[in-house]
A and B are shown apart, each in its own frame.
Chain A
Amino acid sequence: MIDLDNISVQAGQFRLDAVSLTVPTGRYGVLMGKTGSGKTTLLESVLGLRSIISGRIRLGDEDVTALNPAVRGIGYVPQDGALFSRMNVRDHLSFALDIRRVDRKTAEARVAELADMLHITPLLDRTPLGLSGGERQRVALGRALSFRPQILCLDEPLSALDTDTRLQMCELLEDVRRRTGVTTLHVTHNLDEAERLADCLFRITDGKIETSKPSAH
């Protein structure tokens, strides 16, 4: 479960006051809003990349408000993928496992499993240079899922993709969710994407969050 309880957060001149949001365990939450409405600020608060002024953040049964991002155990896919240009795809998928000193055999098996699920096995030895937008996002998704997080945060992961690739990625995200059961918070401004993927839909307007049920789900 992702539970934001009366969060106040500030980013420069921008401020959100006393907003709340809950995504139940195993569900897919989509947060919608215009550019500059504070979607990313809120996501960064969940990740622990931005400290909050007041309120509480709980992930599952744990209050993570004071925890640093490294121990929150959240998979994060930023808008542009933010791949590491000096590493190949295999290194991306095993990065979090290496940090956790997972033994080599287990790590290799996990990399193979992820590559198979995300259809990126032929790309394993390539560097991000020359990967297409869709391929980059698959790698970023694989990197985020590699350490089997309970929570996944996606920040407009499909916004830079063409329509066909976007549809394929939507299918892939549905497949990932079916297979892993990961609780997801997905930020987007695309209504089609939101209605297709969301179990719970949140709209952020003028600093307030409204919860609604997606019409086509």
Chain B
Amino acid sequence: MCLSVIGGTYVLLIVAMLLADATYMADQTFTAAARAEHPLRAVLTQNPITVALADAKIRHSIWLSLISCTLAAVISLVVAVPLGYLLARHEFRGKRLLDAVLDIPIVLPPLVVGLSLLILFQFPPFSWSARSIVYQVPAVVIAQFSVACAFAVRTMKSTFDHINPRCEHVAVTLGCSRAQAFGMVVLPEASRGMMTALTLAWARALGEFGPLLIFAGTTRMKTEVLSTSVFLEMNVGNIEAAVAVSLIMVAAAIAVLVITRVWGVRDAGL
């Protein structure tokens, strides 16, 4: 009973936060509708989300978010699959150190990640390409990747941990090379975990802000992504737009979750 109250309070907090956003949005919409000549049309055209979507800066931010998050998530997965496999299947000197290093992006304050990236690009060979990366669009992807990848690696390690190593052994005795066993047996077994890692990395990248602020800047129509938009709109006191962008992010996150769950369930043949 006590446990369910403690757990329930947290769930309630999550739901209440989302409800508060939605209520605030509805309140703004109805206020706008009450003032308008055509209240029904005003609900559709003057609610904060529609107003935000009409803004070219926000549309640019949405597109950049979609593209950068997808790129960061895909690169994270490409790195996380071999790294997760190495950690799950092999024993080697320095494994515990590697494991600890991979936790650094998770435990480090986000601003420090950004600052460290910025400092890194002062030194060769990184400094050679700093002009076309720092405070430019590639910096957005790099900042998102540097944090999101750590979560993808953790997910992939746990995925490979749960795959029976005997499956690979059998594949090898059936005539597969190690690479064939990995490609034909292990990767298909890991497909759900890969989908989860991709989604998690995407969601992390979408919510990334601290490293972006320092490493990519917050230039409108250039390096502005959704989380930056919320910050910029709040800075100029436009709370309606900030909440509207937040709700767009909530919708994107929910869409990704739903897609993953539906995919997962269909995949399991249920």
Interface residues of A (CB under 8 A from B): 44, 47-49, 68-72, 74-76, 78-80, 82-87, 95-96, 99-100, 127, 129, 140, 143-144, 146-147
Cα–Cα, bound, A82→B169 (Å): 9
A147 touches B174 (CB 8 A): yes
B173 touches A47 (CB 8 A): yes
Whether B8 is near chain A, meaning CB under 8 Å from some CB there, is no
B119-145 vs A, CB cutoff 8 Å, 1 = contact: the mask equals 000000000000000000000000000
B175 touches A82 (CB 8 A): no
Cα–Cα, bound, A138→B266 (Å): 27
Cα–Cα, bound, A70→B170 (Å): 10
A82 touches B164 (CB 8 A): yes
A10 to chain B, nearest CB (A): 14
Cα–Cα, bound, A96→B177 (Å): 12
Other than the given A82-B164, A82-B170, 8 more pairs (CB < 8 A) read: A76-B170, A82-B169, A84-B185, A86-B188, A86-B191, A95-B174, A99-B174, A143-B170
Cα–Cα, bound, A113→B174 (Å): 18
Cα–Cα, bound, A35→B144 (Å): 49
Whether B269 is near chain A, meaning CB under 8 Å from some CB there, is yes
Chain A residues within 8 Å of B188, by CB: 84, 86-87
Interface residues of B (CB under 8 A from A): 164, 166-167, 169-177, 180, 184-185, 188-189, 191, 268-269
Cα–Cα, bound, A143→B172 (Å): 12
Of all A-B residue pairs in the complex, the 9 with the closest CB atoms, nearest first, are: A82-B166, A86-B188, A96-B174, A76-B173, A99-B175, A78-B166, A69-B172, A82-B167, A69-B173
List 9 A–B pairs whose Cβ atoms lie within 8 Å, in order of A's numbering. Answer: A47-B169, A49-B173, A72-B173, A76-B170, A78-B169, A99-B174, A99-B175, A143-B170, A143-B174
Cα–Cα, bound, A44→B169 (Å): 9
**With contacts A99-B180, A127-B269, A129-B269 known, is A84 near B167, CB below 8 A?**
yes
Chain A residues within 8 Å of B174, by CB: 70, 76, 95-96, 99, 143-144, 146-147
A71, closest chain B residue (CB): B175
Chain B residues within 8 Å of A48, by CB: 173
Chain B residues within 8 Å of A143, by CB: 170, 174
B175 touches A96 (CB 8 A): yes
B270, closest chain A residue (CB): A129
B77 to chain A, nearest CB (A): 18
B64 to chain A, nearest CB (A): 36
A45 to chain B, nearest CB (A): 13
A64 to chain B, nearest CB (A): 12
A99 touches B269 (CB 8 A): no
A80 touches B166 (CB 8 A): yes
